[in-house]
Amino acid sequence: MTTVPGTVALTGLEGLSDVQRSFMMRTRHFLQAEVVPRIELAEQTRTFPTDLLPPLLRHGFVRAAIDPADGGSGLTHMECALLTEEAGRVWGSLRTMVNIQTLVAELLSDAGTMEQKRRFLDPLPGWGRIRPGSLLRSLRQDRMRQL
């Protein structure tokens, strides 16, 4: 596995369940394949490649811990921590974006009025057909079939 210069590949997956390990490896693969090749240009141009948002949503990075009823992925806090750590391992700006999205969405989901939820938690423009965390749910469903 290739890592971003100046980072260390995490190999210590001890203590994680098989599902969490699989989740982590899928997350790493996605980040290495889809995000890492674009970091240098994004940093040089001081932009965030917004076309990465739909794949990030599908992988559960956006609105990770939010209840699916409010447009989130419904991930556990452990899964959110794994996503956040992996995001930060490859690109600090991505970790920041994920954390901000999660924090604001969690606050709105937990304490927002129905009007605020409708207004701010509805999928972003162009994301209507993307199910948040759909790849993560399929991984869980595949694992449950194996048990």
Which residue, chain included where needed, has tokens 């190999």? 11
Cβ atoms of 89 and 96 within 8 Å: the answer is: no
pLDDT of residue 64: 79
Spell out the residues 6+ positions from residue 77 whose beta carbon is closer than 8 angstroms to its own: 65
Tokens 């391992």 label which residue? 89
Residue with tokens 């980072």: 7
H or E element at residue 131: none
Which pLDDT does position 141 carry in this prediction?
47
Q: What is the mean pLDDT of each run of 10 residues along the chain (147 residues)?
A: 55 76 90 94 88 83 80 82 91 87 82 84 47 45 45
pTM of the model: 0.68
Neighbours of 134 (CB within 10 A): 14
| Domain covering 18-146 in this structure, CATH number | 1.10.540.10
Q: Which pLDDT belongs to residue 6?
A: 57
Residue pair 50/89 in contact by the 8 Å Cβ criterion: no
Question: Residue 141 is inside which H or E element, if any?
Answer: helix 134-146
Mean pLDDT of the chain: 76
Mark 122-131 as b/e (b = at least 16 C-beta within 10 Å).
ebeeebeebe
Residue 13 has a pLDDT of: 67
Give the pLDDT of residue 10. Answer: 53
